[in-house]
Chain A
Amino acid sequence: MNISHIREQFPALAREVYGKPLVYLDNGATAQKPIQVLDVLNEMQGGLNGNVHRAVHYLSVQCTERYNKARESIRDFIHAASENEIIFTSGTTASLNLLAYSFGQTYIKPGDRIVVTETEHHSNIVPWQMVCRRAGALLEVWEVDEAGALDPKKLETMLDKPGPVPKILALPHISNVLGLVNPLQEIIQVAHYYGVPVAVDGAQGIVHKKVDVQELDADFYAFSGHKLYGPTGTGVLYGKEKYLEEMVPWQGGGDMISSVSFKKGTTYAGLPLKFEAGTANFIGMVGLGAAVEFMQSLDRDMLEAYEGEITTKAMKELGNIAGCRVYGQPGTYYGQNYEKTPLFSMSVEGAHPSDMALLLDRMGIAVRSGMLCAEPLLERYGQTAVLRASFGLYNTMEELDFFIESLKKALKMLR
């Protein structure tokens, strides 16, 4: 796979930090942007800026056309049935808050149950806790096992309880700590068998796997632009039209209305605008359109195979470091394959993650340390912090080797 050709398209990767070549391994937090995205942002901010859906003048019409085209590109990228199902947001967190609020206001009543997994990012926990507090509903937790897999029997026990089934199941496609691809399709089938809709946090999943929301049969799928090589402050909430039609809006304002009147009351716009109050981040969203077009121009199967090679080698090398534990072990659990993506959260005996990250930083390597916005999951594994190296489509085998070598050097200093 010709990674150097891909790397050349990301100007940030050519920079140095502290006089050393940058080795960027914090892609799970945010990814660098290709020139195709940067050019679009620059062109529009610099000379093609007119508010969308508002005016008849040239710039507004041009921007609106591009904005609509971005929605079509993103629809195509996740193979949604209709553009009405693609809600533009500022990121996964906003998508999940929108969903929790609107779904909650529409469907959740006192005493109802909501199920989330123990592997959630805080963004897929706290909005649901807020719904529960508001509506008097109960949050139940589907526990994860030692390897990072989810036992479907535990889910079925929760779904099989006497009385009404939970109103919704929320889970990640790929946990931002474990890096394992959850068997979504199978889990969704189980949930649907009981009549429970499923909301997927796809912030990490969309980056590493081809997503077809119709094939998955996901009811909701949320993701961010900035982790998908697109602009910061962009995101998407995919939702099945049957739910989105029924759900009440989240925020009120411009663009989301059909008619506003003090006398007759206000009526809302149709989908998707009903959920997009105020001036959209239209330049950002056109940038995200460019990012998904960039992704589609690549051979995704080859990329996945390459990421697989990185993953296999990294797991082997990390496994050879004494006292190193990587959370999220690939394998077959409960009859399902849990594939590992190149995202490695680890703890090493005798070395604190923040110390390792500080030393690696000075060697030019960007990694993450801390709780990774997943405090309950870290607590599950008895940790208060972990070190995470997360690879993007532009990272090379040489960078992996350098990371391992540098980590060993850091450990020598610390242990």
Chain B
Amino acid sequence: MTIQEKQEKIIEEFSFLEDWMDKYEYLIELGKKLSPLREEAKTEENLIAGCQSRVWLDARIEDGKLIFNAESDALITKGIVSLLVSVFSGHTPAEILAADMGFIEQVGLKEHLSPTRANGLLAMIRQIQLYATVANTQKAE
């Protein structure tokens, strides 16, 4: 699936969730299902600290594609982390950099990614984009 297709699938899934409690329940479920990050990957370097919650993001390149693994100590944050990982992991840096982030707003999660939330999610997206930018530059060299 392309990034675009994955995003559309998420938008569709969220469209069935009527109110906020349903959305949160769904995110909690996703959070609980997300396979935990290896303890060795929970390093200071991979930690994105926020006042509200913490996110760890681990990245590696396989066959020119970026593979992301991530986790958070908070469950709802972890659910959103799970969405972001599923959307971006397994794609080339160029695909990631070209991706439209509008789906976040369409599923009503925009407020969770505002800088004031300090939950590490906005920083996580920036970090994903940074990994992609660096990988893209290295490839060009």
> Which residue of chain A has the shortest Cβ distance to B31 in the bound complex?
A355
Q: Report how many A-B pairs have Cβ atoms within 8 Å.
A: 44
Give B36-58 interface residues, CB cut-off 8 Å to A: 51-54
> Which residue of chain B has the shortest Cβ distance to A363 in the bound complex?
B21
Taking a contact as CB atoms closer than 8 A, the residue among B20, B25, B73 that contacts A352 in the complex is B73
Residues of the B chain whose Cβ atoms lie less than 8 Å from the Cβ of A413: 24-25, 28
> Which residue of chain B has the shortest Cβ distance to A358 in the bound complex?
B76
Given contacts A352-B73, A354-B77, A362-B21, contact A384 B54 (CB under 8 A): yes
Q: How far is the CA of A186 from the CA of B81 in the complex (A)?
A: 50
Min CB distance, B114 to chain A, in Å? 13
Q: Are B24 and A358 in contact (CB under 8 A)?
A: yes
Taking a contact as CB atoms closer than 8 A, the residue among B20, B28, B51, B119 that contacts A371 in the complex is B51
Question: Is A193 on the interface with B (CB-CB < 8 A)?
Answer: no
Q: How many residues of B contact A (CB 8 A)?
A: 16
Q: How far is the CA of A384 from the CA of B76 in the complex (A)?
A: 16
Give A267-310 interface residues, CB cut-off 8 Å to B: none
Q: Are A352 and B24 in contact (CB under 8 A)?
A: no
Question: Is A369 on the interface with B (CB-CB < 8 A)?
Answer: yes
> Which residue of chain B has the shortest Cβ distance to A370 in the bound complex?
B51
Question: Is A359 on the interface with B (CB-CB < 8 A)?
Answer: yes
Binary interface encoding of chain B residues 63-75 relative to chain A, with 1 for a CB under 8 A from any of its CBs, else 0: 0000000000111
Q: Are B53 and A352 in contact (CB under 8 A)?
A: yes
Question: Is A262 on the interface with B (CB-CB < 8 A)?
Answer: no
Taking a contact as CB atoms closer than 8 A, the residue among A351, A362, A369 that contacts B52 in the complex is A369
> Which residue of chain A has the shortest Cβ distance to B79 in the bound complex?
A355
Binary interface encoding of chain B residues 90-126 relative to chain A, with 1 for a CB under 8 A from any of its CBs, else 0: 0000000000000000000000000000110000000
Min CB distance, B23 to chain A, in Å? 9
Residues of the B chain whose Cβ atoms lie less than 8 Å from the Cβ of A357: 52
Question: Is A414 on the interface with B (CB-CB < 8 A)?
Answer: yes
Q: Are A355 and B76 in contact (CB under 8 A)?
A: yes
Residues of the A chain whose Cβ atoms lie less than 8 Å from the Cβ of B73: 352, 384
Residues of the B chain whose Cβ atoms lie less than 8 Å from the Cβ of A352: 53, 73-75, 77
Taking beta carbons and an 8 Å cutoff, which residues of B are in contact with A? Answer: 20-21, 24-25, 28, 51-54, 73-77, 118-119
